[in-house]
Amino acid sequence: MSSAESTPPPGVRDVRPTDDEAGPAGPEPTDAPTDAPVGADATPVDWDRLPDAVRSRLAELAATAVAGIPPAQLPVPLRRVARFHPAKRAKLGGAALVAELSCSAAFRADVVAWWDEHRPGELAAELASDADDPLTAAAAAVLVGAPSAAHVVSAAARRGEVGELRAELDAALSRVDKLTLELERLRGELGESRSRERSAGAQREHEYQQLRRRVSEQGARLRSALDARAQAERTVEEVRRAAGAELSEVRSQLERERERAAAERRRADRAAAEVAAARQAAREARKADEVRLSLLLDTLGGAVTGLRRELAIGGGGPRPADLVAGATTGRAGGAADTLAALDAVLSVPSVHLIVDGYNVSKTGYPELPLADQRARLAGQLAALAARTGVEITVVFDGAGVVTAPTRGARGVRVLFSDAGVLADDVIRDLVAAEPQGRPVLVATSDRAVVDSVRQCGAHTVPSAVLLGRLVRS
């Protein structure tokens, strides 16, 4: 035995048996004695406290044996483990194998019998006092139920601890050697660094003195530049104040000129607006006078024609029918219910045709939008005016107009009633505004409008009859 094995390292507990444990003159005991005394010295094995290494070795022994044991003899939990791959059987089914070994004496006997039959002498060799592997010896002792199994397991555990401690000691000594070498290397590098630092310090001191001289020179130049800049700033400030004063004066003059130009422009705009208003008023007055004169001439012409007709027919005196008592001539207008009657009325000179717009358009083409109805009716009325020379006025309700109003075609006047005013009232006002004696024709199917305008002397034509005439035009 070497000196490293005879003397344990510092801090490691010596797990070898002392002379008192070995006996007064007996040989040094091994870690796995097979002939330990039975009886009072035998201690039963505590399966729950077995070291993990011993449990793993038991699982390997049982995993090797279950492949050769008939499935009928295997415990039910191990039948699935027996189908695992041999290389993975101990790792995946180790817990189940050890659990069955601990609780089933029959399974332990089957495992021991398999080893004795297929590998005779191996378990006995592991149980020998000179076994090379203490873990296998401890697993074999537990498996065969040797009286010294508990002692062998304890010895294997202690030997494993000693091995671990020795491995840790060797690793620690190796780390100490490496750290010693690293320390020596760092000491050398530190000395070199200090030498370089001293040389660098001297160089820095020299550079520092040079920089101080340069900074002193630059400071003098900087002070001169600052003085020059202060003088330049004062000069610039004076120039800026003078320029600001001149600019303010120029701006005030420019503002006054702008105000004078704006006043002149406003006076010119007012004068132009007054001239335009005067011209517009003159044009409207002249047009109104021309319209009044034309209407007056038309009325006078109609009256003269009527007088001539009456004088030529009457022979210079009243007719017998005019002298009949109990009857008077009414002022109410008539109804043109046919196309022939409508043509007859339209042929009267200076006749004025007033059209109830929506009443006619909704009768003729109700499927169109209101704007299209207005445009279509105005176009047809323009064609009628061009053929007959009749003055035509069409009136629409203005409350429902949300787009641009329809422009009147040539020879057609298009009117929209104001908000809150009905187109029927506008038609009544138009009839009342005409001079007495001028023929007026109202196109509508509204019974109330028909009755009211007839009382004022106007003639009426239904909307359907007018639409028939417009289609023919």
Tell me the DSSP string of 353-396.
EEEEHHHHHHHH-TTS-HHHHHHHHHHHHHHHHHHH--EEEEEE
Residues 6+ positions from 119 with CB-CB distance below 8 Å: none
Q: How many CA atoms lie within 13 A of 367 on its CB side?
A: 0
Asked whether residue 13 carries a pLDDT value surpassing 60, the answer given is no
Nearest of 149, 159, 148 to residue 38 by alpha carbon: 148
The CA distances from residue 319 to 94, 101, 219, 308, 314, in Å, are 149, 156, 137, 15, 6
The answer to whether the Cα torsion of 44, 45, 47, 51 is positive or negative is positive
Q: What is the pTM of this model?
A: 0.36
Q: How many residues does the chain have?
A: 473
Q: E strands, 119-203, where? A: none
Residues 6+ positions from 416 with CB-CB distance below 8 Å: 395, 396, 397, 398, 401, 405
Q: CA 207, CA 113: separation in Å to the nearest integer?
A: 92
Helix (H) or strand (E) holding 192, with range, is helix 149-314
Q: How confident is the model over 127-153, as pLDDT tens digits?
A: 554 456 677 777 777 777 667 666 777
DSSP label at residue 47: G
Question: 35 near 140, Cβ under 8 Å?
Answer: no
Asked whether residue 157 carries a pLDDT value surpassing 90, the answer given is no
Q: What are the structure tokens assigned to 173, written together?
A: 């000594």
Nearest of 50, 77, 53, 52 to residue 66 by alpha carbon: 77
- pLDDT for 86 equals 77
Q: How confident is the model over 412-426, as pLDDT tens digits?
A: 999 999 888 999 999
- pLDDT for 90 equals 76
User: Edge-to-edge strands of the sheet including 459-461?
Assistant: 412-416, 391-396, 352-356, 440-443, 459-461
- pLDDT for 161 equals 64
In order of start, what are the domains of the chain with their CATH numbers? 3-172 (no CATH), 333-472 (3.40.50)
Question: 78 near 108, Cβ under 8 Å?
Answer: no
Q: Is 399 exposed, middle or buried (0-12, 13-18, 19+ CB in 10 A)?
A: middle
Q: Can you tell me the mean pLDDT for 218-224?
A: 90
Amino acid at 263: A
Determine what percent of the chain is predicted with pLDDT higher than 90.
26
Residues 6+ positions from 206 with CB-CB distance below 8 Å: none
Asked whether residue 388 carries a pLDDT value surpassing 50, the answer given is yes
Q: Can you tell me the mean pLDDT for 31-41?
A: 39
Highest mean pLDDT among 71-80, 304-313, 441-450: 441-450
- pLDDT for 364 equals 93
Q: How confident is the model at residue 445 (pLDDT cuts 50, 70, 90)?
A: very high
Residue with tokens 């620690």: 172
SS (H, E, C) 202-261: HHHHHHHHHHHHHHHHHHHHHHHHHHHHHHHHHHHHHHHHHHHHHHHHHHHHHHHHHHHH
